[in-house]
Structure 1
């Protein structure tokens, strides 16, 4: 849980008097003209969306002012990273008791005994910000469903006033400025100083939202991303994403099930989105690694919690992930890595073990393989250049995956002559095939029928998904580019479920899902916008070409 502080004010649309938004509420009564200003859920979402994205990445105590102009209102907003505290003496409240406070409706400051309003989000808030779990320090007068104009605020108390006609003591509650003396029946107009005492001018006050960083989005929604580091599917039909929104300390790993429901989100994994990749472990959990980090991290596939972190050894004879471009997990728990173009195999404790175990009688194994250099400057062969028991391969151009059939597949992403190769786990090459695509930016994915799926572009830069049929020894194009009447629009990453369902994605919330029969069964809002824009461009071009021919 972390706290976000908010200070927000604007002016009344009816009388232009200052209007303080000291609570997250839909109806705010102007204390000057006694008319309501309405701020619906969409307005609040636009006001606070950036604040809730930016503030969690700030240092504790850091804040940011902002001016927002929307329709009839100009808002002055201050937001920042601060734990909820008492507005009077600045003492932090105990977040470990926040649930207890929300049930009671308030917390009592441990230092000055001031009452601090605490509540859980209502429907208005939950619809826009599912990660907000509590609100603290709001003005409870603004939260009343039907506030009465001129009514004494709950923070004030009635006062005694002497009738100027008969000197009788009157208890004034501030409901009306004209009052009748109960002793002499005189009408009395309350003086300015008393009226202002009962109705003090509202000042902007700081209130707080308490967030759960790992909260799930609303049903049917996925987390948003801009950068897509990697995407991978497991044997149970779950898909895992490594993404970031703007790249500044907001890396996250999350998972959806085969029905596209978000299973979990982890925003507390400290990785950089650049060069981060994932791999399914032999036990079904998830490995995370980055070529610029020394360590290897293993998280739970059930909830993303940390299971293991293998610290990188300074001794290259043990696991050190610095320079690791590719990794696959063998069924026996060992890890085959490509580090600075050199193949190396490690056990789960990070110790280097025998690289290839040839199954053929009379052949010698490759031993542990070559020494791992500190950099990747040395030349290394491509997939088409290697045979059985390779010791080196160009990791920048090679993707690896262990298929559902238990074989190791390597794919060369080079533009013109890339090949797909199949290996036994012992290192023996079974075959190598030319891939009829130019650029390929994905690991080769296999379904339970044995088909191997690849996404890339052809020589006309059209995006295509193809699959290799092992039985017929042939490639088949199964999804084509939008420009060819298909569905793809520059997607560059795929994940394939065991039943053949294909997830195709790229940066900025773009995702499409195809059934095993290659019908498009899901398209994100951003992908839909992109597709419609591309179709309009195509239509305009055709019309212009026809006009030119006429």
Structure 2
């Protein structure tokens, strides 16, 4: 649980004067003119939506300020901060929640404040909100802990106040309205500003808090990169949040946030992820970085760093990933790398080499022993000779003439080398199983399961409308459609990125920017889809229908 601090104001719909937003309520009364201003769920989403999305990724006491213009204008300051009193003394949330009367006291000043469970209609609209702390007491129901939908409460002090009618001199009985009717002569009277402001002093915005379960924070990425899945249904993905923040995001089997790291300098295009064989560690490498980061899959904490500043170095010399195009972890914990033969400092960038390092950064042979030897052609594929083009590689390649070759390790231990639309599958000993081309635009990812099947997202076209379909590639290279496009009656729209969960029940995760995510079983059944994915499906179908009309 985290605290989210809120300070907000809006503008009165009647007199355009500032109205503080000091509690999560359905109505705010302007202290200047007395007009009730309704606060709809859409209004509250405008005020709080960005805080719910971003605050879980912020450091404690980090926040933001924004002005939002929609149905009405709001100025909002929000941030991640544990609830505290005006004296800055912390609120003991465990004790406060356990207290039945909903009243809490500042231990330094004795000032009285309130805590209450979020009302049901707000809880339904904003999952994850548990309690509301230090709201304006004048806006709360009489028993905050009851959790009833709050209404604005008039101050009783007005009841004994009297003022004379300017027409007949009779006593006017004041209410919450500035426009009054004399009970004696029926004259219309309007309270002057001095009287109204004395009875209704202008309120100012104050800080209040939302006690929030950050694992239920809405997640909407504006960009998405590589992703990997584990046997427990967790998925780890590189994404861009809020159009600028690059992060490694961990989601649980329900699609909710487990943890997030936004301090790794990752990139949606150039960062590679891989999991250890027991799913306990995540290996993170970004192109142009000289080191490999190793994180705990449980909480994202740093576990190890190989190479670079402050990283471990092998006893045989300095380890560096300078000049690498891709780097991923193998099942045995070794590191598979493809990049310049001599690193970025080499004068010869026409040859690129496949390399392997052990967990300590010591160099190893890329291919394991026992495979078919290339014999006479060894000079063309390995050793100190030149390399071949990707379309020409055979068994046990070592050197290639193209730099942009990705490596993926299947769950059965086989290797997939991919360059644009071309995919080659290899045994661990270097025997080539197949080399195929995927029709259309190049897929971004290839994933391999425990049985030698591979999965890619490929183009689909109906009429003049393009979309995607999910393909399965058999161990001998035969391609078949696992999930067709929505244009063909299937469930794929325009998703591009792909991840596969480990194990026989491992799921297929398909992503796209804009918060689009779909999850499929191994037999192609749609397990769940994000709201954004469902919206995109409908938009694509509408586009196709319009094209056919």
- TM-score bracket for this pair, using the shorter chain length: 0.7 to 0.9
In structure 2, distance between residues paired with 1:252 and 1:448: 26
Shift of 1:253: 0.9
Aligned counterpart, 2:238: 242
Work out the number of aligned pairs and report it.
487
Aligned counterpart, 1:325: 325
Matched, 1:78 2:76: yes
RMSD: 4.3
Aligned counterpart, 1:445: 447
Q: Return closer, same or farther for 1:479/1:305 CA change in 2, 3 Å cut-off.
A: same
Aligned counterpart, 2:542: 536
Matched, 1:406 2:413: yes
Checking the alignment, whether the CA contact within 8 Å between 2:5 and 2:81 is kept in structure 1 is yes
Task: Structure 1 unaligned segments of length 5 or more: list them.
Answer: 153-173, 180-186, 372-378, 544-550
Checking the alignment, whether the CA contact within 8 Å between 1:227 and 1:246 is kept in structure 2 is no
Aligned counterpart, 2:136: 139
The correspondence for 1:420, drawn from 420, 424, 435, is: 424
Aligned counterpart, 1:22: 22
In structure 1, distance between residues paired with 2:264 and 2:59: 15
Checking the alignment, whether the CA contact within 8 Å between 2:516 and 2:530 is kept in structure 1 is yes
Matches within 5 A, 1:8-407: 8-11=9-12, 19-31=19-31, 36-53=36-53, 63-70=64-71, 74-81=72-79, 83=81, 91-94=87-90, 97-100=92-95, 103=98, 105-108=103-106, 110=108, 114-115=111-112, 117=114, 121-130=118-127, 135-144=132-141, 145=150, 147-152=152-157, 174-178=158-162, 199-209=199-209, 215-217=214-216, 223-249=219-245, 251-257=247-253, 260-262=254-256, 264-274=258-268, 275-285=270-280, 286-312=282-308, 317-340=317-340, 341-359=352-370, 381-393=388-400, 397-407=404-414
Q: Return closer, same or farther for 1:495/1:193 CA change in 2, 3 Å cut-off.
A: closer
In structure 1, distance between residues paired with 2:110 and 2:454: 67
Q: Return closer, same or farther for 1:410/1:44 CA change in 2, 3 Å cut-off.
A: same
Matched, 1:510 2:516: yes
SS at match of 1:532: helix
Checking the alignment, whether the CA contact within 8 Å between 1:135 and 1:210 is kept in structure 2 is yes
In structure 2, distance between residues paired with 1:188 and 1:505: 67
Q: Return closer, same or farther for 1:537/1:320 CA change in 2, 3 Å cut-off.
A: same
Q: Return closer, same or farther for 1:319/1:224 CA change in 2, 3 Å cut-off.
A: farther
Aligned counterpart, 2:471: 466
Q: Return closer, same or farther for 1:188/1:490 CA change in 2, 3 Å cut-off.
A: closer
In structure 2, distance between residues paired with 1:69 and 1:121: 25
Relative contact order, higher structure (CA 8 A, sep 6+): 2
Shift of 1:142: 1.0
Q: Return closer, same or farther for 1:130/1:481 CA change in 2, 3 Å cut-off.
A: closer
Q: Return closer, same or farther for 1:57/1:42 CA change in 2, 3 Å cut-off.
A: same
- Alpha-carbon deviations, 1:314-346, whole Å to 9, x = none? 989544345543333233221212244433322
Aligned counterpart, 1:183: none
Q: Return closer, same or farther for 1:531/1:194 CA change in 2, 3 Å cut-off.
A: closer
In structure 1, distance between residues paired with 2:82 and 2:60: 15
SS at match of 1:494: strand
Checking the alignment, whether the CA contact within 8 Å between 2:85 and 2:106 is kept in structure 1 is no
Aligned counterpart, 2:498: 494
Shift of 1:148: 4.1
In structure 1, distance between residues paired with 2:193 and 2:257: 59
SS at match of 1:488: coil
Shift of 1:228: 0.7
Shift of 1:458: 6.8
Aligned counterpart, 2:177: none
Q: Return closer, same or farther for 1:438/1:216 CA change in 2, 3 Å cut-off.
A: same
Of the structure 1 ranges 267-276 and 401-410, higher mean CA displacement relative to structure 2 is found in: 267-276
Checking the alignment, whether the CA contact within 8 Å between 2:236 and 2:249 is kept in structure 1 is yes
Checking the alignment, whether the CA contact within 8 Å between 1:463 and 1:491 is kept in structure 2 is yes
Task: Structure 2 unaligned segments of length 5 or more: list them.
Answer: 142-149, 164-170, 175-190, 341-351
Checking the alignment, whether the CA contact within 8 Å between 2:355 and 2:366 is kept in structure 1 is yes
Of the structure 1 ranges 305-314 and 336-345, higher mean CA displacement relative to structure 2 is found in: 305-314
Shift of 1:49: 1.7
